[in-house]
Amino acid sequence: MPLAADDLSALADAALGAAAGCQAAELRVERIRSQVVRLHDAQPDTTADDTDFGMGVRVVVDGAVGFAATIDVRPEEAANLVRQAVEMARVTSRAGSGRVELAPEPSHGDVTWSSAFEVDPSTVPMADKVALLSEWSTRLGHHPVVSHTTASLLAVSEQTYLADLNGTRATQHRVRMQAQLEALALSDSGFETMRTLAPPVGRGWEFLAGPAGDGNWDWDAELGRLPELLAEKLRAPSVQAGPYDLVVDPSNLWLTIHESIGHATELDRAVGYEAAYAGTSFATFDQLGTLAYGSPVMHVTGDRTVEHGLATIGIDGEGVEGQSFDLVREGTLVGYQLDRSIAAAMGFERSNGCAFADSPMHVPIQRMANVSLAHSGAEGPSTDELIAGVDRGIYIAGDKSWSIDMQRYNFQFTGQRFYRIENGKLAGQLKDVAYQATTTDFWGAMEAVGGASTWVLGGAFNCGKGQPGQVAPVSHGCPAVLVRGVRVLNTREEAGR
């Protein structure tokens, strides 16, 4: 954080002093450094190093919300922001759009929190980032099947200071990274691509440059396998459409969780308040406690506390403590993701900490927690054991394209790697695979979830929501799963219709 602790305290005193008489008020001071590196055929294509620094104030006055922000971080400007936000709230209150209340939250006092990392990736020289991606790309490009390579790295260092009228003053720092490499192969019949499976992580530079193991990815092993897997995919037969039993790897399943559970259990969507970006939800509030979301082996949590999660935080954007909570238990919908306003509006005693703003210039809105599917314990089945239970099916790994309707109900997903399962064993790759289902049919057909050894924390940097739009990082942990009788499409055939 560019400002010293005394400077931050002066800003808080000025803002909260000016906010006396408001129902609620928060000051956020943020510095978000975002770096992008992209290479094509081992040569730099794009580099960017941006810093977003400023402060924002949100108030609730006369049952209405006001917000103002600036890049001028002086105490007199902090007090001025409050006056602007109060005026906005008073104007808004006259519009008659309904009274805003916030669910109560106790003071958490002085909080200092950091995500778990060794080396902040934003401190690593850009030349070192380019050199590492170039070396990896060159290694891939030397294989005769590889015609072209692309590589990318996204790194973010986010430092936040929050002070509110409840008495919470939180200083927080979290980092996140995502690295991907993709190889493209050409043939007389067209082309195929294959991408690394490493997830985005709330970890430091050690995830890329450190020794494999202890949470760091084994990049040497994956890059060594990728060209041969791509060569096999190029020769693989096209799938025959029809029903199949699926064993879905966490590297693919995280996205199905994100789209069909994560967004669907945001309560502002479920009550129709949020619809402008990605629609509402079939999991409406009247079905809480009764909706059969999936099979009895389905246990899904929302979690702002899991180590290395992209949405993990100590205190959220409204001063609420990070928590873990159930969304689906034994297949039944039992909870939603909440911020303070939607919690109060729908009769909940407390928010579960799901407010986030992607910039000091933006107001916090309800955003997704780390939404994860629980594994079946240390003694649960391995991926190989799940595959062994399938006579005719497909094993799917890696995410690619997807489509889902505006109620998060009818969906279609593809992937990176597909393998035939015959009599309990893998029998070579397939291509042109997509699986299609409704949310409740798919999760209702989930017969088994893998054990702890199969659980991986996947996710995305760029979950979109709001108007104007904001993006948020979010993780989704899950094991490998076995789902029976899912409809599989041949994408090549479908494209020709």
Q: What is the mean pLDDT of the chain?
A: 95
Q: Is the peptide bond before 468 cis (omega within 30 degrees of 0)?
A: yes
**Where do we find the tokens 């948020």?**
472
pLDDT at position 68 is: 98
In the predicted model, what is the mean pLDDT of residues 307-319? 98
Residue 286 neighbours by CB distance under 10 Å = 10
Q: How far is it, in rounded angstroms, from Cα 367 to Cα 337?
A: 8
Q: What is the pLDDT of residues 296-306, one digit of tens each?
A: 999 999 999 99
Using only C-alpha atoms, the chain has a radius of gyration, in whole angstroms, of 24
Label residue 497 by pLDDT band (50, 70, 90). low
The tokens for 152 are 């990318």
List domains and CATH numbers for the chain.
Answer: 5-235 (3.30.2290.10), 242-495 (no CATH)
pLDDT digits (tens, 9 = 90+) for 159-201: 999 999 999 999 999 999 999 999 999 987 789 999 999 999 9
The pTM of the full predicted model, rounded to 2 decimals, is 0.96
pLDDT grade, residue 210 (50/70/90)? confident
Taking the C-alpha atoms of residue 192 and residue 188, their distance in angstroms, rounded to an integer, is: 11
Residue whose tokens read 């309800």? 366
Read off the tokens for 487: 């409809």
50 is written with which tokens? 């941006």
What pLDDT, in 10s, does the model give residues 400-425? Answer: 999 999 999 999 999 999 999 999 99
Q: Are 148 and 230 in contact (CB under 8 A)?
A: no
CB-neighbour burial class of residue 1 (10 A; exposed 0-12, middle 13-18, buried 19+): middle
Q: What residues pair up with 465 in beta bridges, in sequence order?
A: 470
Distances (CA, A) of 335 to 99, 200, 256, 332: 24, 26, 19, 9
Each residue of 28-77: pLDDT tens digit?
Answer: 999 999 999 999 999 999 999 999 999 999 999 989 999 999 999 999 99
